[in-house]
A and B are shown apart, each in its own frame.
Chain A
Amino acid sequence: MSLLDSTPPAPGSDDDVLRLIGPTGERTASPDLDPWVSDVDDAALVRLLTDMAVVRRVDLEATALQRQGQVGLWPPLLGQEAAQIGSARALRTDDFIFPSYRETGVAYCRGVDMLEVLRLWRGAALSGWDPMEFGMGTAQIVIGAQTLHAAGYALGTRLDGSDAATITYFGDGATSQGDVNEAMVFAASFQAPVLFFCQNNHWAISEPVRVQAHAPLAGRAAGFGIPSVRVDGNDVLACLAATRRALDRVRSGSGPAFIEAVTYRMGPHTTADDPTRYRDPNELDLWKARDPLARVEAYLVSRGHDPEELRAQLQRAADEVAARLRREVVRLPDPGPLDLFEHVYAAPHEQLERERREYALYLAQFEDQAQFGDQAQFGDQARTGDDARTGKNPDGGPGAPGGAAPSAAHGTEVAR
């Protein structure tokens, strides 16, 4: 290659990816990957397929719950099941995960209750599960910020002499952020045992991956001295194998590694997004034909599994999780008004305590009124949409899925 004369391949192409199960279920050999999944028999593959079917169903249920107003917003993972399940099933329980906000499948593999995923998106809390209990950080909404945390955590495990690995998930859009590039610099500089797992789903809201990159994203890592690989992100077996291989390297003390899982965001960015405004439907059809679940199903059927039986089995597993989710999500409690002041600081903070006391006194006025006026109780939606002063709903913002209209029953008689 002469100076200033390289023509990189298009970043969206998937011709050069490593693959074990192709779109129609054909099993291909890969000397790079095969050794890492020699233990994966048909039964194990059925388990991986079941995982994918369950998280796909969780995802569809969450989208439906958003439409029904039970969830404020939802970022679907539809299409990315293989990348998430394959990579997450390669992890040990003492490994640590720093995800973005779309890793529902990873959280599922970690044993996180899917309700805890919904708690955030329902608007009932800023996060669900305990990161320290599940070895997985909570959803990171600031694009790419978590990758630096992963580099730092990995540095910590190295300093501790542990062979636990750290993995961080991010998307193609995030690779433009300074944080992600700094994370790779730091990880390489400290030879931190961290695996950068990039799900290239081709779209950052409305922007195709070519806005972020004119060459395959995996190629970025090389510039930082980090070995990388492109893998078919819709092939669960290849994702499992590639992640196992990369984790082995990471654990061995050889420094960070990078995987670009080439996949596709089949749904909108979130339920607030409308991809028909910017996406060619033909592209969707192209990727529908590369579905991560259908190919495993086809492969298993080609191995003699009964398709009806297989589908019924997946259906049962998905139904069970979905039914519980629907039943329980409405029971997720709303935070109480004074919960606002919890956990801002770890140590006592007099100024904030004063604000809490003052707000409690403020709310107590409504409690007084409730005793006389049969209004809702303090701490339980004390404020209603009716305003005692104006007799109207004074200040409802546009479409607040958080629920109740604001403002209050400020008792003219009581409070004044």
Chain B
Amino acid sequence: MMRKTVLTTLVALLLLSVVFMQPAAAQTTTLRVLVHQNPPMVEFMEMFNQQFQERHPDIVIDMSVVNANDLSTVTQTRLSANDIDVIDIFGFSNAVQPYMENVDAPNWQQLIDAGLLMDLSGQDFINNYDAATIADAGTYNGGVYAINLGRVSYSGVFYNMDLFEEYSLAVPTTWDELVAACQTFTADGIPCMTAGGKDGWPIFVGAYGMIGAIYPDQAALVEGLWTGTIKWNDEKSMEMWRKMQVYARDMIEPGASGVAGDAAPGRFASGAVAMFPGGTWYAPAIEASEPDFEWGYIPFPASDTPEDNQYLFGKYDQGWAVAANTPNADAALLYLAEFSDPENYQAFVNAVGFIPTQPTAQLSTRIGEQVGPYLANFRVGYEQYWVAPRGVGQYAAPWASFFQPFGTFDDPQTLADTVQADLQSGLDAIGG
């Protein structure tokens, strides 16, 4: 009996201590942050979070990392559950243009219209970014809903300097030179290019430079496709498809479809392949894999005229937004304010290789040196403008991955006709 009483008292004391300890625990704010998988960026964020927590011991950062393909899905579900405070959001793109009909608003616009993102207008840290970026990549209906952290190019190609030197090859400036260089490498058993094909999109994004070489004004391309003045199977587009087939069949190494997106930079840096078409965001991963590896970055030389190969196409990449209903608004805004501090921002840009969107930041990285000469020719790329009408077929996109060995097509004309027919099907459905 005595033992029972003692035991009961102990349990009661334990429960009471748990109850009374709660207010102390509640003083700590847990700030929930969502980012997409980009190894150098994640590595930087972990370091930044640690420093932030040291400066603010009352705030604990709980950062989740998801694949870029799933970012939109996870954003939706966690915002709906009011389970996230700070969100990684890509620069606002794919806005509906006046000539577009029967389309759906992009997800960022839906999130704002539903009142799920906080209007950041008036926050001091916004002034750290250049006005054009705030206007183009974070403003909607007069409110500022995101600060964008940098632009990236995705239409260039990394090349292995040592291999080019070893084979006495000049860096290609035209399509013919590129084809010849690839033939030289493959003839000697060195695959010409690799890509992180397991993630799907790196195969076709690697060929976006080809669209740019044929259609340098990509906003006009999208309008032309919508209004019917440009067709995916007209003679000009056929040149693109023919080159894309060569890219998919002869340039990208067999087996690239199994290479994960975050493993591809390491494969290139190992010297296993001569070139690596892809975005500037891969540069820090290449450097981290092999710090002594000598590499360069050029616009994809897809045109036969060197002057047409001077453009870099890209997008506004990662930005920060805050959940409108966050119970941790003060901590979230403090997080963004400290991140936006010029010193922290410079460290971020150095780590991830973005083209900065703060005017005071320097582009002093190796990738910065490489893209510097082309920055005056930087243009927002096709995919950032494109919105498909409802009813389009699944092939209504200029993707090199539709060709064998990654897809089913082995004839450029057949593929071009299919792509145009799938697009036309959606355009014809308007008002139908």
Whether chain B is bound by chain A comes out as no
Interface residue ranges, A against B (CB under 8 Å): none
Interface residue ranges, B against A (CB under 8 Å): none
